Amino acid sequence: MNASLLARGVAALTVTAGLGMAGSMAVDASTTPSTSPTASPSPSLHPVTLGTLKEHCNVAVQRRLATLGADATFVKNSEALSSGDRATLEAQISADQQGLTALDKTIQSDTTYHQAWSDCQTIVTGYRVYVLEDPKIHEVIAADGVRKVDGTFATLIPELQSLINSSSLSATVKAKAQADLNDLTSKVDASVTSISGVSASVINLAPSGWPGNQVGLKSAAANIKTARTDLAGAGVDANNIIKLLAA
Amino acid sequence: MIHVTTLRNSVLGAVAVVVVAGCGALHPSSVSSPAAPGATAPAGATGTAPSAPAAVSPDVSGISQQIAGIDNQLSTIDGQINAADGGLSTSEGDPSQ
């Protein structure tokens, strides 16, 4: 039965990881522009008509709306998000969607190249969808996910302790299981420490703070990965304990 | 002598029932029942009760399911981390081009 459960877990892991990668690739595919916004319009360097410029801007808006739409789905379906974080992210996504939609209408109504170009830059500077909003949303979901797993382990640890205590196996085997449980507990404690305050540190980062708040995003990512690594080790310990007790 | 044998069999039978019931009652998700009564046989039943197992492994299936659930949650976290990394290593570009 354990082998069956493990096989199911691996299969689910593979499918979920695949979905996660697919989502990542879709986001990346939307970030095709590779140049940075220029300081001012240069029609001589970019010989496009006002109509063509508006088309480009509309495409840029639609790409970002697609990314935000995908993010909204992640937020809605996430089982890990706290209710407060979910509400905050939903409000932010909704505000960005409404703002970008209104901005697109403004751009399409602009009568001069310079005004349209200037408004078009706001698609980036006013929202930072690809470099701030989108990664921030994924980080909050991941951080809340780590906290949820920490909670699951907090429930699991006393159950594993109970199984060890009540086991009729040899003292040697029980000692090995206890050592694994001690290691598991220390790893979960480390994870709790690493993830503490991470969601709160990034969830209200705003485009106005760019690029300075990029540091906060990268720091949060590092903490999430550290906590994730600790949880992976805790999972190995848990499986070892089960194998020992079920032998 | 007959009465003694009958009494002994009754006691052993009762012990076996208690042991089996105890094993059924042990549920991994229940923190309130930490002891596994089936794990240790009563001294009086040593070597004489054919239906009482000498040692019973704890029922770990429930905990195994919880661990499998954790594995699934960790894989979901991995997907979100990968997605965040994508944003941290890209640039917005120029929307007017």
- The DSSP element (H or E) to which A8 belongs, if any, is helix A2-29
Q: What is the structure's pLDDT at A41?
A: 59
Q: How many domains does chain A have?
A: 2
Question: Are residues B64 and A1, on separate chains, in Cβ contact within 8 Å?
Answer: yes
User: Confidence band (pLDDT; 50, 70, 90) for A91?
Assistant: very high
Average pLDDT over residues B2-22: 42
Asked if B39 and B66 sit in the same domain, the reply is no
In a domain, A91, yes or no: yes
Alpha-carbon gap, residue B25 to A43, rounded angstroms? 79
In a domain, A157, yes or no: yes
pTM for the complete prediction? 0.72
- Domain interval for residue A181: 130-247
Q: Enumerate residues 32 to 91 of chain B having a beta carbon within 8 A of any beta carbon in chain A.
A: 33-36, 39-40, 55-58, 60-61, 63-88, 90-91
Q: What is the structure's pLDDT at A246?
A: 84
Closest CA to A33 of B21, B91, B39, B28: B91
Please check the confidence at residue A33 and state whether its pLDDT lies above 80.
no
- Domain interval for residue B2: 1-59
- Given a contact cutoff of 8 angstroms between Cβ atoms, the answer to whether A135 and B87 are in contact is yes
Asked if A239 and A166 sit in the same domain, the reply is yes
Average pLDDT over residues B4-31: 39
Q: How many domains does chain B have?
A: 2
pLDDT digits (tens, 9 = 90+) for B31-84: 333 333 333 333 333 333 444 444 444 467 888 899 999 999 999 999 999 999
In a domain, A3, yes or no: no
Is some CB atom of chain B closer than 8 A to the CB atom of A181?
A: no
- Given a contact cutoff of 8 angstroms between Cβ atoms, the answer to whether A70 and A133 are in contact is no
Asked if B42 and B71 sit in the same domain, the reply is no
Give the pair of three-digit tokens for residue A74.
């992640």
**Higher pLDDT pick, B3 / A172:** A172
In a domain, A26, yes or no: no
pLDDT digits (tens, 9 = 90+) for A121-158: 999 999 999 999 999 999 999 999 999 999 999 999 99
Task: Provide the ipTM.
Answer: 0.79
- Those residues with Cβ within 8 angstroms of residue A156's Cβ, 6 or more apart along the chain or in another chain: A238, B63, B66, B67, B70
Question: Are residues B91 and A152, on separate chains, in Cβ contact within 8 Å?
Answer: no
- Where a domain ends, among A127, A157, A181? A127
Asked if A135 and A213 sit in the same domain, the reply is yes
Among B36, B74, B83, beta carbon nearest to A138: B83
